[in-house]
Structure 1
Amino acid sequence: MPSVSARTTPVLAFPRAMRVEAPSPASGREQDRILLSPPHLTGGELAALSATLDSGWVAPAGPVPEEFAEAIGTVTGFPHVAAVASGTAALHLGYRVLGVAAGDEVWTASLTYVATVAPAVQMGAIPRFLDVTPESWTLDPNLLERELARAARRRALPRAVVPVDLFGQSCALDAITALCDRWGVPVLCDSAESLGATQRGRHAGLGARLAAFSFNGNKIVTAGGGGALASEDKALIDAARHLATQAKEPAPHYQHETTGFSYGLSSILAAVGLAQLAALPARVAARRAIFERYLAGLAGLPGLGFMPEPVWGRSTRWLTAITLDPAAGAPDRETARRALAAAGIEARPVWKPLHLQPVFRTAPRAGGAVAARLFETGLCLPSGSGMSLAQQERVIAALRGLWQG
């Protein structure tokens, strides 16, 4: 994260009992460590924060969260957006407004982070995990079609299908929504990792009944936290907003006809997000350029491959993901990860498939071999849009050294 000079940083005066000791300076190795996807500030965040604080709005109220929601709508093409506390909160609200209840099945791609399905499970729903395709690493539409047909014959269709836009790449959403529409199953797209990505010329998630986005600190645009739920259906977003504010009814006293959540986005985080959103095209360009440099710098290494980009989509390359096949002459994934860590470089395996997670050991699934193989061989490389050429050359040199050694 870029440092802020002492001349522009407000000095907070704490009472003596509250004074906080400054941390000791980081070692050279810690300062030089290359992180996977650190926040990349635009330089406008401090002014936006100052203006928001001067306005007196701090809580999840006031004009800034709504301005942020409108800006998200402009970027994504969704006419209705609710800005909320996190991407997970957006997914939870999505499940609620779709009427997911205890005993319902919710289907999703196995190759994803647990937050995709955790809110539904906590509501009592039963997750079912479907495999992904080697061509996109996202939900396999052919497998989905087969499983929907089987479920229809059993009269046991899922309450929702939740495809995932992975590592900056949109799923085959047109195909998925066409299949789900055939059986009347709503689609909630987990687009948390793919702000700025497109599928057949439309923004990731657009075309699903609902789409959820994240502005966590590691995302391509960050508010330091926060999320959004978006839809072309105003009634769904109105219902989500109502639930996000503890489902308070319009009355002079506190009146509730159902229970909701404290999921509003603070004005402080919304101000940061607003300052960041304008930089989205530049951030996408930077991450795609980083991917291209990796592609060129690692060319010719036996057994090393890259996450493919299907012809129907344009990825942000939020994270550059590679695969390492020892049978073809590459080091195994863990050997590479540990070697990078020893060189002060953060890398991370791709998501462990949910059907392999202990918490879901008894959950139903369809397939899973592709996702399992990608977990065994897949590694995410540092991809922050603020990476310098020198930093990227360090990563490339460290990896190439595993073949040369």
Structure 2
Amino acid sequence: MAAPVLLSPPDVGQVEEEYLLRALRSGWVAPVGPDLDAFEREVAERLGVAGAVAVASGTAALHLILLTAGARPGTAVVVPTLTFAATANAVAYTGAQPVFVDCEAGSGNLDPAVLEDLLRRLRAEGTPVAAVVAVDINGRCADHERLRAICAAAGTPLLEDAAQALGSTRDGRPAGSFGLAAALSFNGNKVMTTSGGGMVVSDDPALLARCRHLSTQAREPVAHYEHREVGYNYRLSNLLAALGRAQLTRLDEMINRRRLLRERYAKLFADVPGTRILGEPDAESNCWLTTLVVDDGVTGWTAAELGAHLARHDIETRPMWKPMHQQPVYRDSPALLTGAADRLFGSCVTLPSGSALGPAQVEHVMATVAEFVEAAR
């Protein structure tokens, strides 16, 4: 029996093995070492930012940048409702109140017009807003220039959740280089992986130093163990940083394979009325995940029905993110909604998008999708 086709499996091979083996033989296996230093430097150089702090997860990176922005009990943080739970959870870790805002129907990214209205309302209520977090959905960068202008007018820092977007750009500027700071993720299903891991990136040296301090248990620089505040065990290991350095050398080729795969999907659905690829056209996206939006009133079939058909052929899919305002844990949180995120959640299916998919797997997916579409006709 053929192995199942996964949504976005890790893409690792000989290069990663060589980097890991060299790091292991060096003896640097703890959360400190030359590969960790080099990994931070190389990512910062790629993004054109002042520096980086490699940490244990993208969630840890979000937590740290929220703390440095001033998120704490008694403050609010504005978060897109269409996102993975980590974005909202990191706000909860700080004790701040997440306030959810709806998305653009075309891209799935935070809607600037709704954000502007929400910030105006929060200001009128006297609610202190520590930060706005913009998420780059499926690798497509949000409209950060417009968001930054709105946040600047409100006196609110803009933070970028670029967990899905490493390698993407907007108007030629790299994802992760917008806002006061950004969080990257190197989880196993991302465009590049360190198994688990993440990174804070910023142009603010003081912010980076603060994140580095907090990520190492807030230990003071003295011979004995001195701690003046609560810190976190968040640093990435040197071994995983070595894996990340190997992946970084292959990042462009892995992104290119994802883009070619998205082009195949776009061509397949080009003559299927009632379907579109979320966020397209966008030549600057890393195409982390390709999500199909289905208008079942036109197609005569639903996104869920396509997903079920693929599942019967051992092909993994998933719905779009369930909006945070629908999640039981956040159901009572404030939100400003237009219905766009709810509609996307109910009408989308995310298709296999990984760069590790082999030619036979890709052809199996395309043939199975085409079979469903033809049968539906």
Among 358, 364, 373, which residue is 1:394 paired with?
Answer: 364
Aligned to 2:223: 252
Does the aligned pair in 2 maintain the 1:39–1:222 contact within 8 Å? yes
> Which of the pair has more CA radius of gyration?
1
CA deviation vs aligned residue, 1:93-133 (integer Å, no higher than 9, x gap): 11111121112111011110000120211322111111111
Determine whether 1:207 maps to 2:178.
Answer: yes
Partner letter of residue 384 of structure 1? G
The structure-2 alpha-carbon separation of the partners of 1:207 and 1:404, relative to structure 1 and needing over 3 Å to count, comes to: closer
- CA deviations over 1:139-171 (Å, ceiling 9, x no partner): 000111111122222332411100100111111
RMSD, aligned α-carbons: 1.4
Name the SS for the 2:19 alignment partner.
Answer: helix
- In the alignment, does 2:254 pair up with 1:288? no
Tell me if the contact between 1:304 and 1:330 (Cα under 8 Å) persists in the aligned partners.
no
Distance, in Å, in 1 between the alignment partners of 2:13 and 2:332 is 45
Q: Is the 8 A contact 1:291 1:320 kept in 2?
A: yes
Shift of 1:275: 0.5
2:77 pairs with 1:106: yes
Runs of 4+ in structure 1 off by over 3 angstroms are none
Among residues 191, 196, 208, which one is paired with 1:225 in the alignment?
196
CA distance, structure 2, for counterparts of residue 354 and residue 43 of structure 1: 39
Q: Which amino acid aligns with 1:126?
A: Q
List alignment gaps of at least 5 residues for structure 2: none
Aligned mates of 2:126, 2:243 — CA distance in 1: 47
Query: SS of the counterpart of 2:152?
Result: helix
Is the 8 Å Cα contact of residues 42 and 279 (structure 1) preserved in structure 2?
A: no
Matched, 1:361 2:313: no
Q: Which has the higher mean CA deviation after the structures are superposed, 226-235 or 149-158? A: 149-158
1:347 alignment partner, SS class: coil
CA distance in 2, matches of 1:235, 1:310: 38
Q: Kindly state the Cα deviation for residue 337 of structure 1 after the two structures are TM-superposed.
A: 1.1
Secondary structure of 2:322's aligned partner: coil
- 1:3-402 map, 5 Å: 28-29=1-2, 31=3, 33-309=4-280, 314-402=284-372
Give the TM-score normalised by the residue count of structure 2.
0.96
Shift of 1:207: 2.5
Match of 1:348, SS state, is coil
Query: Is residue 109–residue 162 contact of structure 1 (8 Å, CA) maintained in 2?
Result: yes
C-alpha contact 1:102 1:125 (8 A) present in aligned 2: yes
How far residue 198 of structure 1 moved from its aligned partner, in angstroms, is: 0.6
Residue 107 of structure 2: SS of its match in structure 1? coil
1:330-357 Cα offsets, whole Å, 9 max, x none, are 4212211111111010011111110111
User: How much does 1:241 deviate?
Assistant: 0.2
Give distance in 2, aligned partners of 1:93 and 1:308: 29
**Contact 2:176 2:184 survives alignment (8 Å):** no
Q: Per-residue deviation at 1:308?
A: 2.5
Separation in 2, partners of 1:205, 1:310: 21
- For each residue in 1:297-352, what CA deviation from the matched residue of structure 2 results, as whole angstroms up to 9, or x when unmatched? 232123221113366x7111111110122111242122111111110100111111
Structure 1 CA distance for aligned equivalents of residues 95 and 210 of structure 2: 21
> What number of residue pairs does the alignment pair up?
375
TM-score (norm 1): 0.90
Q: Counterparts of 2:193 and 2:46 in 1: how far apart (Å)?
A: 14
Post-superposition offset of 1:215: 0.4
Partners of 1:122 and 1:236 in 2: how far apart?
19
Following the alignment from structure 1 to structure 2, what is the Cα–Cα distance between the partners of residues 310 and 151? 34
